[in-house]
Structure 1
Amino acid sequence: MTLALDSAAQDLLFREARTANTFTDEAVTDEQVQAIYDLVKYAPTAFNQQPLRVVLVRSPEGRERLLQHMAEGNRPKTASAPLVAILAADNEFHEELPTQLPHFPQAKDVFFSERTVRERSAALNAALQVGYFIIGVRAAGLAAGPMTGFDAAGIDKEFFSDGEHSVLAVVNIGKPGEDAWFPRSPRLDYGQVVTTV
């Protein structure tokens, strides 16, 4: 055994975890989402910028607003999931940073003053947080159905009218339903991915 996690935890978070395509109608509570966030907020981000923003879609009206921007094949999944989370990068994350960062005091005024640099940094670091969010959903005993098949500009306009956020993923969340999984696709082996220099 070379991993600190026991085999059951490894299975829950990785080996047996799958992208769910159907869900039961069992509700996902605010308490569950709070517990997920309280776990995944420790994801690493450059300068601790934490650019991820989450919009929980619970109401029928919110669901209809979202569905019109989802790819056709994703609409039934999103329509039937107990909870849907829109995960976006806040391109103005630097406004939440302390005035002086202890390890790089000039970051806020110099590094993040350029919009293009901020947007690239927000997208990368929020994507790291998205990965942690999915693992957190699994840790709560729920299934995640992350998707990128949507009209990003439409979702940004519909849910982030300030123009300062960029959607990265839409994640359906709940208990897996009947025939929830597609057959597992192959994964690359260690030797195909890892080189040593």
Structure 2
Amino acid sequence: MKQPLDEQALDQLFRSARTYPSWQDRPVSDEQLQALYELLKWGPTSMNCMPARFVFLRTAEAKARLEPALMAANLDKVRAAPVTVIVAHDDRFFEHLPTLWPHTAGAREMFADNAALAETTAFRNATLQGAYLIMAARALGLDVGPMSGFDNAKVDAEFFPDGGFRSNFLANLGYGDPTGLFPRGPRLDFAQAVTLL
């Protein structure tokens, strides 16, 4: 029978976890990035469609390609982070459904023949997978700094010139520098955010 995680685990995943804007000079290895993907891939998506695609920018040269798309406030964050990941989605995710979701005949065609449904499904589920990336990184002892503040069209033109993938958000990964944190922001309480019917 499953048991709740202990308080330390809950703190690491949620209560003490922060969005880091500055970073320690500690590397993140390719092995850690693979372990990160191997964990996040188990998060649920509708019909197991798994539309997210992740581009890990690990070098100064790779990050330099991203810089023209960034708002000025995000330049130093990206430069200092050991890794910046582009969380994107595959417009043709449904080509994998015969393998990923063999239970339903015609699953591929359901999306191939309905562009609006395919786009909504890809965006929603890739966003979920981006959230799983954040939680998996925290579970593995990494810190995360997810970001908007960039030009999606420029990112897509630079990194996905064939038009098959589309960027959603960015996230810096590594070991956060706590001296760069702002005071923790408040959260809405239960009564403000929840309706019980």
TMscore range, shorter length:
over 0.9
Runs of 5+ unmatched residues, structure 2: none
**Contact 2:91 2:122 (8 Å CA) reproduced:** yes
Q: Which amino acid aligns with 2:104?
A: F
Q: Find the counterpart in structure 1 of residue 89 from structure 2.
A: 89
Separation of aligned partners in 1, 2:43 and 2:100: 21
Matched, 1:76 2:76: yes
**Contact 1:99 1:108 (8 Å CA) reproduced:** no
**Contact 2:60 2:79 (8 Å CA) reproduced:** no
Runs of 5+ unmatched residues, structure 1: none
The worse-fitting range, judged by mean Cα deviation, of 172-181 and 27-36 is 172-181
User: Residues 71-117 of structure 1: CA distance to partner in whole angstroms, max 9, x if unpaired?
Assistant: 11011100111111111011110112217944432221134422222
**Contact 2:49 2:101 (8 Å CA) reproduced:** no
1:51-62 correspondence runs (5 A): 51-62=51-62
The worse-fitting range, judged by mean Cα deviation, of 177-186 and 134-143 is 177-186
**Contact 2:97 2:107 (8 Å CA) reproduced:** no
Identity value in percent? 43
Q: Find the counterpart in structure 1 of residue 191 from structure 2.
A: 191
What value does the CA root-mean-square deviation take over the aligned residues?
Answer: 1.5
Matched, 1:64 2:53: no
**Contact 2:94 2:111 (8 Å CA) reproduced:** no
Separation of aligned partners in 2, 1:115 and 1:196: 35
**Contact 1:100 1:108 (8 Å CA) reproduced:** no
SS at match of 2:107: coil
Q: Find the counterpart in structure 1 of residue 36 from structure 2.
A: 36
Report how many aligned residue pairs link the two structures.
195
Separation of aligned partners in 1, 2:11 and 2:66: 32
Separation of aligned partners in 1, 2:170 and 2:163: 18
SS at match of 1:22: coil
The structure carrying a bigger helix percent of its residues is: 2
**Contact 1:86 1:171 (8 Å CA) reproduced:** yes
TM-score normalised to structure 2 length: 0.94
Q: Find the counterpart in structure 2 of residue 12 from structure 1.
A: 12
User: Residues 131-183 of structure 1: CA distance to partner in whole angstroms, max 9, x if unpaired?
Assistant: 11000111111110000110000001100111121111111111112523221
Cα 1:159–1:109 change in 2 (3 A) is same
Q: Find the counterpart in structure 1 of residue 158 from structure 2.
A: 158
**Contact 2:48 2:100 (8 Å CA) reproduced:** no
Q: Find the counterpart in structure 1 of residue 146 from structure 2.
A: 146
Runs of 4+ in 1 over 6 A off after TM superposition: none
SS at match of 1:98: helix
**Contact 1:100 1:106 (8 Å CA) reproduced:** no
Q: Which amino acid aligns with 1:113?
A: D
